[in-house]
Structure 1
Amino acid sequence: MLSTLARAATRRPLTVILLWVLFLLLGFGLGTGFFARLSDEVPNVPGTESERAAQYIDRADPTGESITAVVEGPAVFDPALRDEVDRAVAEVRDVPGVAAVPDPFTTPGLVSEDGRALLIPVTLEGGLDDDAEERAVDDASARIHQIDAPDVHVSGGPLLGQQLGERAQEDVANAELISLPVVLVLLVVIFGGLRAAGLPLLVAVGGIAGAFLALFGFSQVTDISVYAVQVTTMLGLGLAVDYALLMLVRFREERRHTDDVVVAVHRTVAAAGRTVLFSGLTVAVSLTGLLVFPSVFLRSMGLAVAAVVMIDMLAALTLLPALLTRFGGKIAPAKTRQKGEEGRVFARLARFSARNRVAVLAVVVPALLVLALPVTGMRISIGDARQLPTDTEARQLYDTVEAHFPPGAGVDPVTVVLRPGTDAAIAERIRALAPGAQSRELPGGTTVVELPPSGSVDGGAATELVREVREVRGDEPVEVTGVAARLVDFREMLADRAPWAAATVLVGIFALLFAFTGSVLIPVRTIATTLLSLAAALGVVVWVFQDGHMAGLLGAEGLGALSLTAPPLIIAIAFGLAMDYELFILARMREARRLGEADQEAVVTGLRRSGRVVTCAALLLAVVFGAFMTGGFSPILQIGLGLTLAVLIDATVVRMLLVPATMALLGRHAWWAPKPLRKAHDRFGLQEEAPQRIRVTEPV
């Protein structure tokens, strides 16, 4: 397959380039249409009790969505301001699609006790199509914003998703403006020329276009979360640069041995292309664990990110060879130096770790375990508007309500559905669980009881209230829904499916690494060291964003829990990225062994020849992730920090210290496999011709 791709790229490079140009136009044209379809709904899990109850209420209750406005001023009862509000309320009631707007001055609880703020809830009609709902929301919001007051903020409901989508689009654009120039400068430093540095960026642009097209495609059949934008774009950009960097370094090395550009491209695809292929498959397999979860959010994220990885891999194996065929003749070959002078730092690290393997393991492993300790106390939550940057309207509305209204004001209640036939005594016990419980009747004899929780919408008190209701109801036809109930069900879903997800990923990764190396011990060692670095990175994320240590330096605050989106995405993506660097190193080790080097020296050679690529790739990926952390959206900050730390820890501490130490500890047994598996690998594993011994020097 690799030789077929190489032949296609070198025989018709202009055709391949033009096809990718068309792909880019589609990605940045049609693909950007998904920004209008983003959803802020994450914790919905099909088939759970909370989801069934919510769907029942939606069918039985004709009430539509709602948005909320807050008006703040020195005195909201000032006659001039009151006239402004009254006129706005009257006009919003006449907006097509608006069902009800209460009078904030006469409705209890809508004016703050200090008289400096008031709430205006706007309820929409049920059954509106998407276009009618959007027009109603836009018209109502625009009219409320015309109120002449010091501060007017409108958000919530469908408007929140719209605001988050606009912010996500802005954050992606800003991150690209920051990261692409920095990446270009670093690539110029790495390659010493603008022409070679520009090619990875062209591949990276293809990765971004692929991310947009993948998200647009999935948005046609399922909801796409606002979190997907930054995650898929940052990964598409970062992996494209990684793969292109690996291919270009190999191409410049091959150019030292031949003046024929086409031959150099073929050799590059045969060697580095194999690593890129396995790397892409490994990252994709790491993301298949997300498909085990019934959550639409996790499944769609897994599919979208896996699609982006495959597009990056395809770009590196087709677009880049075509570009090299067309323009590679003007790229300077790698400088030739005496053997032993190249990668001296990495070679010394490898020899040091191999000689002192027990000491290295005794120091590094406990240090990573200490960093991982906070994971034992990790909590996840849906979160509230505090996750948003302070300059977003939803966050400003939240802060205003917090400043002027009692704690818990505006918090979504725990909603209990009492079906016909529910025992009256049980119903009364449920109502008694929370002061201020309110009831309403639905058609068909169903009663809905709303229990206001103390504290935040997904805090310990709210989730405990859900559990109490479920304990009290016994066998009665009672179901619980609401934000807190969705969180409880989401946590249970994660706990139930996590072992299956882990097993799926580990088996898949083991199979791929065995096909790549022919060893059963190297996959086990790789998985163990990767999990160690991943736990360390996740532990730091918990320490910062959950416990609040140094969160202010990142423009965030300690929230007492991580966003429920962060841990599964950090684990799945970081695990795949770690496999990237492992494969970069293993490919060089394996090549050295095939050239006849002893096992221990092959480890040193592998680190010496791949250490620079791995370090540069990790640095470039960290720049990309860091740029996406400038948006200030807490879940993205958590994911960005987790991935950045995972990449840096894995590419430095793990790959440069733990890998040579553990390989030295295993010795000649590292490449061992039982005889039946060895025969299976010889027959079915990916094989290639033995490398030639002419490579006695290294690229710079």
Structure 2
Amino acid sequence: MFERLAEFTIRRSRLVLVVAVLAVALMGVLGAGAFGKLLGGGFDDPSSESTRAAEVIDEKFGGETNLVLLVRADAGRIDAPAAERSGNALADELSADERLTNVVSYWETGSEDLRSRDGREAMVLAHVKGDETEQRENAKEVLDVYTGSYEDVLTVRAGGGAAVGGDMSTQVVEDLVLAEAIAIPLTLLLLLFVFGSVVAALLPLVIALIAIIGSFAQLSLLASVTDVADTATNLTTALGLGLGIDYALLMVSRFREQLAAGASVDDAVRRTVNTAGRTVAFSAATVAAALGALLVFPQYFLRSCGFAGVGVVAIAAIATLLVMPALLAVLGHRVNSGRLPWAKPERSGTRAPMWGRLARTVMRRPVLTALPVLAVLVLAASPLLGITFGTPDERVLPEDAGSRQVATALRENFDGSEEAALHIVIDARVDKAPLEAYATELSRLEGVLRVEAGTGGYTDGQATAGGPGNASLGRDDAQRITVVSGLVPRSEAAQELVADIRAVDPPAGTHPLVGGVDAQLVDSKDSIGGRLPIAVALVALTTFVLLFLFTGSVVQPLRALVLNLISLGATLGVMTWIFQDGNLSSLLGFTAQPMEVAMTVLMFCIAFGLSMDYEVFVTSRIKELHDAGQGNEDAVANGLGHTGRIVSAAAFLLAVSFFAFGTAKISFMQMFGLGSGLAILIDALAVRGVLVPAAMRLLGRSAWYAPPFLRRFHDRFGLSEGGPEDTPAPVAEPQYAKDSTRV
């Protein structure tokens, strides 16, 4: 297959480039409309109890409260005559607004629960209509009209889920623009340093540009048929830039190596496609397999990242295998044009003696050199022993975000959070007596401040005066109950309260559904935790199969899986130490909180896939030399001598595109960027530089073992590094000094 592909791109190089230009133009037109189709959120399981509760409340009660307008009197108390008149006028306007339902205000109800302790502020609660996209647009329009100064008497600020979601969506776009503004120029400078040639340095950017434009086109197409989270743009842009550069770097380096060995341009292209091209294909398959595991989760945030991630990997690989050989065939020796003053002649090759010598050093004392590295990685992973998980709330935003400031004011100045209340819905008729008994029992639970039902209010097992909106909580065919607690939202105690509520015996013949932010967190953790073993098993199985097909060994896939898990554990441990435990929070400007469960799973899959990316880069060259007759140690040392510089350069370039998201103001995007970048560097330097040579030395010949029946299977169906017999041999391998002493 790769031979035919090489011949096609050589014979039809200009046609391939023309078609590529037209395809990029078309993808650019499609991708231009991507942002208008993307949704916020996507962290909830659509089949969970909390989601079903929200759907019933939307259908029969006008929706849960997702907008809180915090109204402050400019002078005096909020119930002073002037403030009361303006407050009532504001509430009337909001009630008449077709974009809102379930508007409840302090001035309408007189409930002290909706007034601050100092009497200066009051709440207006509402539900913004529509799905995720419509809510975002409707909330923006409502806030543009009603927030700020009102009649020169009141100051109105917005909070609640709809306001937080709007602030997040806006911030995601700003963070993406800033990250790319940093990553692209810095990447270009690093490429110039790596290649020492302007033309060679620009080629990887061509592939990256195709991958990024293609990414937005596929996001636009995906969003037309399914829900796609707006945060998928960050993933596809970082991956498109990083993988496009990684794959092109491998191809360009191998092509220049072949030219330096005296091959003709056509033969150099053939050899490049048959060796580096094959590696790119397998590398893309392993990354796609890791990202494809995200499709087992029901949350559309994870599913959309899975679809988008697999798509961007495929686009980057296809562009590398088609467009790059055509470019190389047209450019020929001009690939080295624009040589920079600091560039040395040997930059045209890829051999890095330092990596070969490092491998020899490690293999002389594999235990003594590997143990300190393992100890550091295990120590870095230790914070995982105390890891806890959560879902995004207003704390992921910067402290100056309006919706976050409102949430802080509600926690500090009001008794209980109406917007963070738990909502129980019974989708059936319920008689008054059993409903009262059920609500009374709920009010006795530890942490509950009050319970509101269609039959009245309840506190500590006793009926109280009616609270806000009691009349709207009951219907002939359904009942709704609101449970307000004094617990910190999303805390362990708040999650335990959800379990306690679900354990209370309901009215006979009914099946209450419990919703609200704490219930959503409990359900999300259960949903992701229940499917995580399936996702991990799929990643491990597909990776094992692909690496076996690539290497013909059953030991190499196991060795790769073990080392990858060690490096990933260290990465997740460091991220827990930083973002959960709060270390470096003042430097990075975030608020410590539990690890975001969906983003942690996404980071795991991304980091695992990229680790396998470099595994394939290194193993492909080692296997090529081993198949050519070199002994295990020679193949490892010489393989790393050729690929070490490529892998380290590719790692730094890809890490830059992820580290750029460390400038984000949304904390879980910071975690994703810094964690992914750190995982790449740990894998490329500690794992590939030290642990792989040590493991290969300790394994010896058994590193290439496979049972006879699997060996026969691989001989028939597997793929291996190699090329046509008439292509020139690789550059002669340097034989670094050996020392067979072993600990």
TM over 0.5: yes
Matched with 1:486 is 520
The question of 1:143 aligning with 2:145 is answered: yes
Question: What SS class does the counterpart of residue 29 from structure 1 fall into?
Answer: helix
1:389–1:461 distance in 2 versus 1, CA, 3 Å: same
The question of 1:322 aligning with 2:326 is answered: yes
Per-residue deviation, 1:67: 2.7
Bigger CA drift: 375-384 or 665-674? Answer: 375-384
1:480–1:135 distance in 2 versus 1, CA, 3 Å: closer
Alignment equivalent of 2:494, drawn from 462, 483, 508: 462
1:105–1:504 distance in 2 versus 1, CA, 3 Å: same
Question: What SS class does the counterpart of residue 438 from structure 1 fall into?
Answer: strand
Matched with 2:375 is 366
Matched with 2:629 is 596
Matched with 2:242 is 238
Per-residue deviation, 1:196: 1.2
Q: Using structure 1 for the length normalisation, give the TM-score.
A: 0.92
C-alpha distance in 2 between matches for 1:158 and 1:272:
49
1:87–1:407 distance in 2 versus 1, CA, 3 Å: closer
Per-residue deviation, 1:318: 1.4
C-alpha distance in 2 between matches for 1:3 and 1:444:
73
Question: What SS class does the counterpart of residue 485 from structure 2 fall into?
Answer: coil
Per-residue deviation, 1:65: 6.8
Deviations 1:83-111 (A, max 9, x none): 76665555444444344645555643444
Alignment equivalent of 2:451, drawn from 437, 441, 451: 437
Matched with 1:380 is 389
1:16–1:339 distance in 2 versus 1, CA, 3 Å: closer
C-alpha distance in 2 between matches for 1:438 and 1:697:
78
1:13–1:161 distance in 2 versus 1, CA, 3 Å: farther
Matched with 2:30 is 30
C-alpha distance in 1 between matches for 2:272 and 2:140:
54
Q: Which letter maps to 1:212?
A: F
Per-residue deviation, 1:609: 0.7
C-alpha distance in 2 between matches for 1:287 and 1:132:
29
Deviations 1:262-294 (A, max 9, x none): 332222111111111000000011122222223
C-alpha distance in 2 between matches for 1:24 and 1:117:
54
Deviations 1:485-518 (A, max 9, x none): 2221222222322222211111110000011111
Preserved contact between residue 369 and residue 690 of structure 2 (Cα < 8 Å): yes
Preserved contact between residue 260 and residue 348 of structure 2 (Cα < 8 Å): no
Matched with 1:648 is 681
The question of 1:499 aligning with 2:533 is answered: yes
Preserved contact between residue 378 and residue 562 of structure 1 (Cα < 8 Å): yes
Deviations 1:430-469 (A, max 9, x none): 2432221111444343221111233332211221111112
Task: List alignment gaps of at least 5 residues for structure 1.
Answer: none
Preserved contact between residue 44 and residue 486 of structure 1 (Cα < 8 Å): yes
Question: What SS class does the counterpart of residue 452 from structure 1 fall into?
Answer: strand
The question of 1:394 aligning with 2:403 is answered: yes
1:54–1:110 distance in 2 versus 1, CA, 3 Å: closer
Matched with 1:58 is 58
Preserved contact between residue 88 and residue 143 of structure 1 (Cα < 8 Å): no
1:391–1:276 distance in 2 versus 1, CA, 3 Å: farther
C-alpha distance in 2 between matches for 1:575 and 1:504:
12
Q: Which letter maps to 2:31?
A: G
Q: Using structure 2 for the length normalisation, give the TM-score.
A: 0.87
Bigger CA drift: 526-535 or 349-358? Answer: 349-358
Question: What SS class does the counterpart of residue 45 from structure 1 fall into?
Answer: coil
C-alpha distance in 1 between matches for 2:132 and 2:609:
37
C-alpha distance in 1 between matches for 2:347 and 2:515:
70
C-alpha distance in 2 between matches for 1:313 and 1:565:
27
Deviations 1:531-581 (A, max 9, x none): 00000000011111111111222221211x111222211111100000011
The question of 1:248 aligning with 2:252 is answered: yes
Per-residue deviation, 1:69: 2.9
Alignment equivalent of 1:634, drawn from 667, 672, 679: 667
C-alpha distance in 1 between matches for 2:283 and 2:620:
11
Matched with 2:459 is none
C-alpha distance in 2 between matches for 1:443 and 1:102:
18
C-alpha distance in 2 between matches for 1:355 and 1:504:
36
Task: Provide the aligned length of Structure 1 versus Structure 2.
Answer: 694
Preserved contact between residue 66 and residue 160 of structure 2 (Cα < 8 Å): yes
1:32–1:400 distance in 2 versus 1, CA, 3 Å: farther
Per-residue deviation, 1:308: 1.0
C-alpha distance in 2 between matches for 1:91 and 1:62:
18
C-alpha distance in 2 between matches for 1:72 and 1:179:
43
Matched with 1:266 is 270
C-alpha distance in 2 between matches for 1:338 and 1:387:
45
C-alpha distance in 2 between matches for 1:51 and 1:75:
42
Matched with 2:731 is 695
Matched with 2:366 is 357
Q: Which letter maps to 1:285?
A: A
Matched with 2:462 is none
1:17–1:171 distance in 2 versus 1, CA, 3 Å: farther
Identity %: 36
C-alpha distance in 1 between matches for 2:197 and 2:699:
41
RMSD: 3.0
Bigger CA drift: 631-640 or 453-462? Answer: 453-462
Q: What is the correspondence of 1:179-258 to structure 2 with a 5 Å cutoff?
A: 179-258=183-262
Question: What SS class does the counterpart of residue 336 from structure 2 fall into?
Answer: coil
Matched with 2:503 is 471
Q: Which letter maps to 1:387?
A: V
C-alpha distance in 1 between matches for 2:350 and 2:192:
22
Matched with 1:452 is 484
Matched with 1:44 is 44
Matched with 2:741 is none
Alignment equivalent of 2:296, drawn from 279, 292, 297: 292
C-alpha distance in 1 between matches for 2:335 and 2:553:
37
Question: What SS class does the counterpart of residue 212 from structure 2 fall into?
Answer: helix
Alignment equivalent of 1:582, drawn from 599, 615, 624: 615
Question: What SS class does the counterpart of residue 473 from structure 1 fall into?
Answer: coil
Q: Which letter maps to 2:678?
A: L
C-alpha distance in 1 between matches for 2:400 and 2:31:
28
Question: What SS class does the counterpart of residue 303 from structure 1 fall into?
Answer: helix
Question: What SS class does the counterpart of residue 525 from structure 1 fall into?
Answer: helix
Matched with 2:18 is 18
Q: Which letter maps to 1:97?
A: R
Bigger CA drift: 486-495 or 101-110? Answer: 101-110
Per-residue deviation, 1:314: 1.0
Per-residue deviation, 1:227: 2.5
User: Between Structure 1 and Structure 2, whose CA radius of gyration is higher?
Assistant: 2
The question of 1:676 aligning with 2:684 is answered: no
Q: What is the correspondence of 1:102-181 to structure 2 with a 5 Å cutoff?
A: 102-105=104-107, 107-108=110-111, 109-124=113-128, 136-147=138-149, 152-181=156-185
Deviations 1:640-685 (A, max 9, x none): 1211111111111111000000000001111111111111100000
C-alpha distance in 1 between matches for 2:453 and 2:352:
72
Matched with 1:557 is 591
Preserved contact between residue 57 and residue 63 of structure 2 (Cα < 8 Å): no
Alignment equivalent of 1:415, drawn from 406, 423, 427: 423
C-alpha distance in 1 between matches for 2:386 and 2:68:
35
1:33–1:118 distance in 2 versus 1, CA, 3 Å: farther
Bigger CA drift: 479-488 or 682-691? Answer: 682-691
Q: Which letter maps to 2:363?
A: A
Per-residue deviation, 1:74: 5.5
Alignment equivalent of 2:440, drawn from 428, 434, 450: 428
Question: What SS class does the counterpart of residue 119 from structure 1 fall into?
Answer: strand
Per-residue deviation, 1:135: 6.6
